[in-house]
């Protein structure tokens, strides 16, 4: 058998075997690196993999450690955990809930809006869903909300942190596509091409994120008209009404100021993603200090949480670097290119196939696993076919957002069930279905109207 065919067969076997190992429950970071090294060894034994290629891992590891954009991940994580621990998010949710609560569906509107605000100030799905689950779910149950509707609103609103910037998902997708775009342009001999930046992707994701929030609000409005008994209004007592105006200014202005500082510095080009992350981290700490919430124990918890999540992401990143290098060394990139170019529909058909693959994988594996496996393999091929990188990044971000909701392994589902013990898992499964469909509708809108994603970066950057 031809050596090229043997190498491509090994690459395909490695790709399939990786998912088998992940489904068996092996840690993703060590599965990525370990399986890749096993297949690299097989490739060397069969003479289809060059051992010196592994020396490139040193450079890739150093690049990851010194990448300015990736430094923003622990800073945004730090910001999100500070906001969660300092009760800023809790007060925001309670006050907005009282503001909208006197209307049918009002508490649902408040949860969706607070989800968007927290997304724009944290970028962490877990913290958002847990926070809103602890606060809004009991309030919704006391007000007589339907369990399925309440669970769907909470989980879907929590996942907005994956799309509305700043988002760790967009940072990682953008980093991979930035590198892929540079490689593709260099291969074409275009060494003066304008680079793709994470800031552009942040800006591009803003309008699609708002479209999704709008769809959520329209769905809640529809339910409030069609079945108002599923989302009845709530009332405030006399004391709450008397102090409401003061509380709403006190509660809403500080987080809005932080959001403006973070997103405003990005949108105006005044700061890079990393610099805006530093502004956000220090701003969140300042807000917590103003509320008297900063203590040694609080800082210890925040630092440990930030270190834990950041370490997980960077460990997977290094494992993915091994996987990507071995996959390409075995000829896997050619396999991916041959498969995508053979699909009907050209570049759009290939893009649809990759997005569909990511959506299906979201039923079974974690968002970060999908990013680290799929984007480095298929991203360069799609860019080579002429797909617009900014639009592609946004579409990937929208698909990845659904992976937090799709049963049986949607993480947002388990985050909510972990803090709402009386909530049956079946009720959450049924509750998220309409919101998954809304997310798919939002993707269809951005697919047919790509300017929703591409107009703003061209306008202001």
**In the structure encoding, which two tokens stand for residue 255, read together?**
């987080």
- Element containing residue 4 per DSSP (H, E): helix 3-23
Minimal CA–CA distance to 206: which of 434, 9, 390, 400? 390
Q: Per-residue pLDDT for 438 more than 80?
A: yes
Full-model pTM:
0.85
**In the structure encoding, which two tokens stand for residue 12, read together?**
């395909």
DSSP 159: G
Minimal CA–CA distance to 417: which of 118, 216, 159, 154? 154
Mean pLDDT of 418-435: 85
Q: What is the pLDDT of residue 99?
A: 76
Give the contacts of 6 (CB within 8 A, at least 6 positions apart): 46, 48
Minimal CA–CA distance to 393: which of 307, 457, 313, 301? 457
Q: How far apart are CA 425 and CA 408, in angstroms?
A: 10
**Mind giving me the DSSP string for 414-459?**
HHHHHH-TTS-HHHHHHHHHHHHHHHHHHHHHHHH-THHHHHHHHH
DSSP H helices in 228-272: 238-267
Question: Which comes out higher in pLDDT, residue 203 or 239?
Answer: 203
Give the contacts of 423 (CB within 8 A, at least 6 positions apart): 137, 147, 151, 416, 417
Q: How far apart are CA 212 and CA 205, in angstroms?
A: 11
Q: Per-residue pLDDT for 236 more than 70?
A: no
Q: How far apart are CA 427 and CA 445, in angstroms?
A: 28
Instruction: For 76-126, write each residue's pLDDT tens digit.
Output: 888 878 877 777 776 777 777 777 767 788 888 988 988 888 777 666 676
Minimal CA–CA distance to 336: which of 1, 23, 15, 3? 15
Instruction: For 288-301, write each residue's pLDDT tens digit.
Output: 888 888 888 888 98
Q: How far apart are CA 159 and CA 378, in angstroms?
A: 24
User: Where is average pLDDT lowest: 35-44, 80-89, 305-314, 328-337?
Assistant: 80-89
Instruction: For 24-34, write each residue's pLDDT tens digit.
Output: 777 777 888 88
**How many other CB atoms are found less than 10 A from the CB of residue 289?**
12
> Quick one: what percent of the chain has pLDDT higher than 90?
19
Q: What is the pLDDT of residue 392?
A: 95
Mean pLDDT across the chain:
84
Q: Per-residue pLDDT for 416 more than 70?
A: yes
Q: How far apart are CA 261 and CA 456, in angstroms?
A: 19
């Amino acid at each position: 058998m031809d050596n090229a065919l043997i190498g491509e067969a090994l690459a395909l076997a490695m790709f399939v075997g990786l998912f088998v190992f992940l489904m068996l429950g092996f840690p993703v970071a060590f599965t990525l690196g370990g399986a890749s090294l096993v297949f690299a060894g097989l490739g060397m034994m069969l003479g289809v993999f060059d051992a010196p290629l592994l020396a490139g891992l040193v450079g890739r590891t150093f690049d990851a450690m010194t990448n300015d954009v990736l430094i923003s991940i622990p800073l945004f994580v730090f910001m999100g955990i500070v906001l969660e621990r300092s009760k800023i998010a809790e007060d925001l949710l309670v006050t907005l809930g009282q503001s909208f609560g006197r209307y049918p569906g009002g508490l649902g509107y408040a949860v969706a809006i607070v989800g968007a605000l927290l997304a724009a100030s944290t970028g962490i799905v877990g913290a958002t869903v847990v926070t809103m689950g602890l606060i809004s779910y009991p309030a919704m149950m006391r007000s007589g909300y339907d369990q399925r509707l309440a669970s769907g609103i909470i989980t879907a609103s929590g996942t907005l942190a994956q799309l509305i910037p700043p988002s760790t998902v967009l940072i990682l997708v953008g980093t991979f596509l930035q590198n892929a775009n540079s490689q593709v342009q260099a291969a074409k001999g275009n060494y003066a091409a304008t680079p793709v930046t994470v800031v552009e992707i942040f800006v591009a994701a803003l309008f699609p994120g708002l479209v999704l929030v709008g769809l959520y609000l329209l769905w809640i409005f529809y339910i409030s008209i069609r079945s108002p008994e599923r989302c009845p209004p709530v009332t405030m007592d006399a004391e709450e009404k008397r102090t409401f105006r003061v509380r709403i200014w006190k509660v809403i202005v500080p987080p809005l100021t932080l959001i403006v500082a973070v997103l405003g510095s990005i949108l105006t080009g005044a700061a890079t993603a990393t610099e805006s992350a530093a502004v956000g981290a220090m701003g969140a700490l300042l807000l917590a200090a103003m509320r008297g919430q900063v203590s040694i124990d609080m800082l210890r918890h925040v630092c440990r949480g930030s270190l834990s999540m950041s370490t997980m992401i960077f460990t997977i990143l290094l494992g993915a670097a091994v996987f990507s290098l071995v996959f390409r060394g075995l000829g896997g990139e050619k396999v991916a290119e041959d498969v995508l170019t053979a699909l009907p529909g050209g570049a759009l058909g290939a893009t649809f196939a990759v997005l569909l693959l990511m959506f299906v994988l979201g039923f079974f594996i974690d968002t970060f696993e999908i990013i680290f496996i799929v984007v480095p393999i298929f991203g360069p091929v799609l860019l080579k076919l002429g797909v617009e990188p900014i639009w592609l990044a946004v579409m990937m971000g929208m698909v990845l957002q659904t992976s937090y909701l799709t049963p049986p392994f949607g993480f947002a589902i388990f985050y909510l069930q972990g803090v709402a013990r009386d909530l049956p898992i079946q009720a959450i499964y049924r509750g998220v279905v309409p919101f998954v469909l809304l997310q798919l509708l939002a993707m269809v809108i951005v697919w047919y109207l790509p300017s929703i994603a591409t107009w703003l970066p061209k306008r202001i950057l």
